Amino acid sequence: MNKLIHLIFSFLYPVFRHWGLSRSFATYLSLFFNTIVLCFLAYGLYVVFRFILVTIMAIVAQRTKTKFDDLLVNNKTAKYIAYLFPLFFVFKSVPVLLDKFEYWEGIFGKLVGIYIVLLILWIIRTVFNSLRDYLKLIPRYSDKPIDSFIQVIMIVLWMFGIAVIISKLFDIDQKELLTILGAVSAVIILVFRDTILGFVASVQVAINDMVRIGDWITMDRYGADGDVIEINLATVKVRNFDNTTTTIPTYSLSSDSFQNWRGMLNSDGRRIKRHITIKASSIRFLQDQELINLKRIELLSAYIDLRKAEVDTYNRGHKIDKSLAINGRNLTNLGLFRKYITQYLQQYPGLNKDMIMLCRQLQPTPYGIPLEVYAFSKDKRFENYEYIMSDIFDHIIASVPYFDLEIFVMPSENIVKP
């Protein structure tokens, strides 16, 4: 190949000298025409090899079942590889073309060599991008932070590439360059602080399986509440439920607290934990006539008979003076209301009966007695979950007056303005 290059770019100068041109003029004129010839040949090589490589890769992609080669085509890997052939031709031709211009020969030789290094790094980048897209098509890798790992690999390759470029540009031995880089490592750590922290955090996220793409996370510090759509070396992107996007530094996932809802989504139900506040002054013992009326509530009929018999048996056995309702054992309207809610939850079709389901009384507050429903809905989708919870509490709130109870409201709301 060297002989062919020498033959192409060496014949013009003798011709111009034979025509009687001066040595200086013949040198510059041959350089001008040789540069034009070099550009045409380089472009011709690029067109030919691009056609060959793109055609071959397209045929292979059509005939194979794997998607990886299709992604190589989409990322234009063959097109970038085609650039290598004319660049290699130019790299070999520069010493011949600039034979009489030693100073410029060194400069252009270095520039072409640097461009080849950059092009090789770019080709590797397209291959890794294709690998990333391919792995995301595989279910077991689709939720892994593949972008972070590829970015780490590319950073290492770029560091080696930059080291090679600097060594070529300033004629520095690569061992000496590594020594210099070691001496300025403190500056490098300072400049690439976020990158290093992001790399460490990415490894921790992957090893500990803290976050996956598609996870619903909540991070109050950054106002994030939505699905993770991207994990890379520097940032984690979260698409919030209002369709905004929040960007979180990757290292924050290992240094700050956040809530991952994956466990809930993978479980058999989504928790309902909400309460209403009963006005304390409305809670009282029930009279026999009231129990007769409440027996008309189908969910409580059997329970009232059972509890009434137990209470009467206990009171008679202990000769309790029932002239005062406080004596002995009694049924209260709040107790029956709690039982009614429990029975209602048991027969409600949207709840998972195999998980915890109860209605409990919380610590009294200055506003009243909180009565909390603790259960799990079968459907974990946001809109259906909210519908189930609202439907349950619609019924509970509407049922309160049947037990002669009151829901606490602030006194100012009861004031009628003139």
pLDDT digits (tens, 9 = 90+) for 209-244: 788 888 889 998 888 999 998 887 778 899 998 889
Give CA separation, 57 vs 21, 47, 240, 312, in Å: 50, 15, 40, 89
The answer to whether 33 and 11 are in contact (CB under 8 A) is no
For residue 130 the two structure tokens come to 């294709």
For residue 341 the two structure tokens come to 């809610």
User: Other CB atoms closer than 10 Å to residue 242's CB: what's the count?
Assistant: 7
For residue 399 the two structure tokens come to 């049922």
pLDDT at 6 over 60: no
- Residue 418 has a pLDDT of 45
Rg (CA), the chain: 40
pLDDT at 78 over 50: yes
Weakest-pLDDT range from 22-36, 77-91, 301-315: 22-36
* pLDDT tens figures, 375-386: 999 988 888 999
Measure the CA–CA gap between 94 and 404, rounded to whole angstroms: 99
Measure the CA–CA gap between 375 and 365, rounded to whole angstroms: 23
The DSSP H or E segment spanning 218 is strand 216-219
- Judged by DSSP in three states, 157 sits in helix
pLDDT at 373 over 90: yes
Per-position DSSP letters for 16-32, written without gaps between them = HHHTT--HHHHHHHHHH
- Residue 57 has a pLDDT of 79
Q: How far is CA 183 from the centre of its chain?
A: 37
DSSP code of 184?
T
- Residue 17 has a pLDDT of 61
The answer to whether 97 and 51 are in contact (CB under 8 A) is no
Measure the CA–CA gap between 58 and 355, rounded to whole angstroms: 55
> Residue 217 pairs with which residues in a beta bridge?
226, 260
Measure the CA–CA gap between 224 and 205, rounded to whole angstroms: 18
Measure the CA–CA gap between 160 and 347, rounded to whole angstroms: 67
For residue 232 the two structure tokens come to 């890379």
pTM over 0.85: no
pLDDT at 164 over 80: no
